[in-house]
Every structure is written in structure tokens, then in C-alpha cells.
Amino acid sequence: YYNDNTILYINGEYTKANAATTDLFGQSLHYGYAVFEGIRAYKTANGEVKIFKAKEHFDRLQRSCELIHIPYKFDNEALIAACYKVLEMNNMEEAYIRPLVFCPPNMTLKAASESNILICAWEWGAYLGEKLLRVMTSSYERPNPKAFKIESKSAGLYVNSILASQEAKEKGYDEALLLDMNGYVAEGPGANIFFEKDGKIYTPPAGNILPGITRATVIELCQELNIPLEEKLFTIAELKEAECAFFCGTAAEVIGLDSLDGQSFGKPWAQSLGKVLQQAYKARVLEKSFQREAQLA
């Protein structure tokens, strides 16, 4: 993720990554009480480096902090400018950008009264790879919204994601799919889920999931491409009847599922609406034009 020359941004300063320090008594380190974002920069069709939906990501960072009472005294426009500067200082064009808001030393369980911000970046390929994924239904549930602010992209929440991913890997799968506390399909450890059935696309509604920015982009693309879309709760049994399914997230982008619990989907990926949306998403982040008809030919 970094080498001797890597520069990061911390509380208004640009510093060498290997010279930056943090306090071992920090509340974030001990209790997972921190908030982060995952953002991507792309070299767009006209050669310019652009951070995709930077404002949406920093707005969510701010909202995530507010939800769990971490003070947020940062100016989002300045932070976006800092992201571009970090990319430039590290000579990066296509990169994954990680802002992290973390709290100073405090061993109590009181909400923080101050916070710090770190922005770092590294070159990262598609997080879940390019191959269709063999997915298992996790034995872990997503955290109950009555037990946590699940719409906050909080560090501590990701222990649940690590457990689910690890279980899937131990059982020989590529990735996990988690249910909500009512037994409906929620999301992957780091991505939202969609499926296709009878010419229509479905995804779980907000409420028991992280409201993904990629998810919002896929919904916009469905509208633009005249693909009918419905947000609704569904079960694993219903998902197994699907023609295709895919995960989406900033790090993973749009990636198709090969199978769920060993059962494959009704259509070859190449003929699915998932593939159309995957290509449309890639075109969108690169600011290229995209026509659905051309892709289905």
C-alpha cells in the first residue's frame, strides 16, 4: 500500500507515509470507533484524472461521522482538493483513495470531542477480481440496525465483513452474501447485491444495508438505459431463481456472480443485463458514452 516515497495527507499536512505516526491510546484503534470512505480515481476518456462521485463520498463520510457522534470539522471541498493533491504527489492516475476519520487518545466509551483525518491512496485492481464469483450464503448476519448505525461506514462494522469473507474463503468460495436480521438478502461484506429476473433488475431497499454510491450509480444507469428496476426485499430462494446476479461497490465495481451456494444462474453472464450494466458502469467512470443496443448486438 505504500513505500518509502509515499505521501499522505493528515490534518492539513502532506507527510511521508513512513514518517506519519498515530497514538496507540487512540479510541479508534481500541474500539473500532472510526469512519472511512473508499473512493476511486480514474483516468477518463479525455486523459484527465477524475475522482468518481467525490462529493457523494465526502458527504457520506460526514454523515457517517454524525451518525456515530464523531466530530467532523472538515471542509469537504478542501478534502477533495487534498485527494487530488495526494494523487499528484504520488504520481497516481488510477487509484483507490481512503479517507479515514479517527479519534484521539481516550479509553472511555464517551463520544469523541475531536477527530483527525487521514487521506491515503494506492493503486488497486478490481477488489473482487475480474472473474465471476462463486458466492456462499453466509452464516453471519449483517448487524441489526437496532444494534448499530449500519448506514455509517464505520470501521468497527467491518469485523462482521471480515468474519463473513473468511468463512467463505475457508469453505472454498470467493465471497459471502449476508442476510439481514429478518432473513432477507442484505449485501456482501463490501458490496451491494443486484439480480435480474424477467427483464427487470432488483436490489434490496435502504434500511438494512450500506447505501452504496455504486448502487446509486447502477440505479441511475438502469433509468438511463430504460431497464426496469425495483428495490425490494427478497430471500435467498428467490435469488436462486435469478437469471444473473452481481455485486457492486467502489472497490469491486460491477462484478457478476458465477453461482450461489454452488447453484448457477439462468443466463450466461455475457447475455445478461448484469453485463450491460457492468459495461455501462465502466463507461460512466471513464466518462465514455455508452449505448445499450450496441452492447447487446
Binding site for ligand PMP (CB under 6 A): 38, 161, 187, 190-192, 210, 212-215, 249-250
Of 68 and 213, which CB lies nearer to ligand PMP in the complex structure? 213
- Nearest distance in Å: CB 178, ligand PMP: 9
Q: Between β-strands 116-122 and 95-102, what pairing exists: parallel, antiparallel or unpaired?
A: antiparallel
**Element at 169 (helix H, strand E):** helix 158-170
C-beta closer to ligand PMP: residue 98 or 275 = 98
Measured from the CB atom, the residue of 187 and 243 that comes closer to ligand PMP is 187
Q: What are phi and psi of 89, to 5 degrees?
A: -65, -25
**In the bound complex, what is the minimum distance in angstroms from residue 88's beta carbon to ligand PMP?**
23
Query: What is the C-alpha to C-alpha distance for residues 142 and 173, in angstroms, rounded to an integer?
Result: 19
Q: Do 244 and 216 meet the contact criterion of CB atoms below 8 Å apart?
A: no
Contact 27, 69 (CB under 8 A): no
Would you say 113 or 182 has its CB closer to ligand PMP?
A: 182
Q: How far is the CB of 187 from ligand PMP (least distance, A)?
A: 5
Q: What is the widest separation between alpha-carbon atoms in the chain?
A: 61
Min dist CB 43 to ligand PMP, Å, is 20
Active site residue 153: yes
**Three-state SS sequence of 213-276:** HHHHHHHHHHHHCCCCEEECCCCHHHHCCCCEEEEEECCCEEEEEEEECCEECCCCHHHCHHHH
- 142/275 with CB nearer ligand PMP: 142
Measured in degrees and rounded to the nearest 5, phi and psi for residue 121 equal -150, 150
Residue 78: partners with Cβ closer than 8 Å, 6 or more residues away: none
- Minimum Å gap between C-beta 5 and ligand PMP is 28
Torsion sign over Cα 84, 86, 91, 96: negative
Nearer to ligand PMP, 2 or 158 (CB): 158
DSSP secondary structure of 26-87:
BHHHHH---EE--EEEEE-TTS-EEETTHHHHHHHHHHHHHHTT------HHHHHHHHHHHH
For residue 167, the minimal CB distance to ligand PMP (Å) is 15
Active-site option among 153, 169, 197, 275 = 153
Kindly tell me the burial class for residue 141, based on how many C-beta atoms sit within 10 Å of its own C-beta (0-12, 13-18, 19 or more).
Answer: middle
Instruction: Give catalytic residue positions.
Output: 153
